[in-house]
Amino acid sequence: MLERFYRELLNFLTRQLNDRDAAADLAQESYARVLAAQHAGQQVVDGRALLYRVAKNLVTDQHRRSEFRSHESLDTVSESEEQQAPAYLQPEEALSSQQTVHAYSDAIEGLPPRCREAFVLHIIEGLPQAEIAKHMGISISMVEKHVIRGTLACRLCERELNGIHVATSKRGR
């Protein structure tokens, strides 16, 4: 039954990896793992979904391994570079990060209270819009509008941080 998904899975993996041979290897490994799970007595309700999940996990593992290898190959770092602290510990970088956090915080604090509440619940807390709507006693559409408004405020903040001049209009306010 799972065999009918092979070409589809192979095409998916090829798009993910940009390498047909590596995709074929991962497709084969995905099938082997799903079949091993079935033979071990695990019930597979949706074989296609499990194949794709296993394949996606294998792609992620492969990317992690290649990233790890690329970090290992950086043994030719000069002595002066080796003695420097990581960028995030550099005073200028720390100050810049702190200023960025304050700017975004100010942008969010500048939102109307209900808008800020919906935005924070959705973006920061990760609550679904339907749950926020129920919690706040408003429609899902209103939650969406609040989230969009907060997102736009953050984008404006990002543009200002990057030095991009933004013309504000009275129409959106």
- Residue 117 pLDDT exceeds 50: yes
Flag whether the pTM goes above 0.75: no
Please check whether residues 107 and 50 belong to one and the same domain. no
Query: What is the span of the domain harbouring residue 14?
Result: 2-72
Q: According to the model, what pLDDT value does residue 62 have?
A: 83
Query: CB of 166 within 8 A of CB of 159?
Result: yes
B/e letters for 41-60, b = 16+ CB within 10 Å, e = fewer, are: eeeeeebeebbbebbeebbe
3-state secondary structure 134-170: HHHCCCHHHHHHHHHHHHHHHHHHHHHHCCCCCCCCC
Same domain as 92, residue 32:
no
Give the residue from 72, 101, 119 where a domain finishes.
72
**Position of tokens 């810049």?**
96
Q: Tens of pLDDT along 71-90?
A: 666 655 544 555 566 665 66
The sign of the dihedral angle between the CA atoms of 45, 51, 53, 54 is positive
One domain, residues 152 and 121: yes
Q: What is the mean pLDDT of residues 133-157?
A: 93
Looking at the chain, the whole-number percentage of residues with pLDDT higher than 90 is 21
Q: Do residue 8 and residue 55 come from a single domain?
A: yes
- What value does the mean pLDDT take over residues 150-163? 87
Q: What is the CATH number of the domain that holds 130?
A: 1.10.10.10
Average pLDDT, the chain: 81
- Whether 120 maps to a domain, the answer reads yes
- In terms of pLDDT, which residue wins out, 61 or 3? 61
**Both 108 and 52 in a single domain?**
no
Candidates 154, 146, 151, 157; CA nearest to 113 is 146
pLDDT tens, position by position, 16-53: 888 899 889 988 888 888 888 878 887 778 878 888 88
Q: Is residue 167 part of a domain?
A: no
Q: What's the total number of domains in the chain? A: 2
The pLDDT-based confidence of 148 (bands split at 50, 70, 90) is: very high
Residues 92 and 157 in one domain: yes
Pair 66, 103 in one domain? no
Last residue of a domain, one of 22, 37, 72: 72
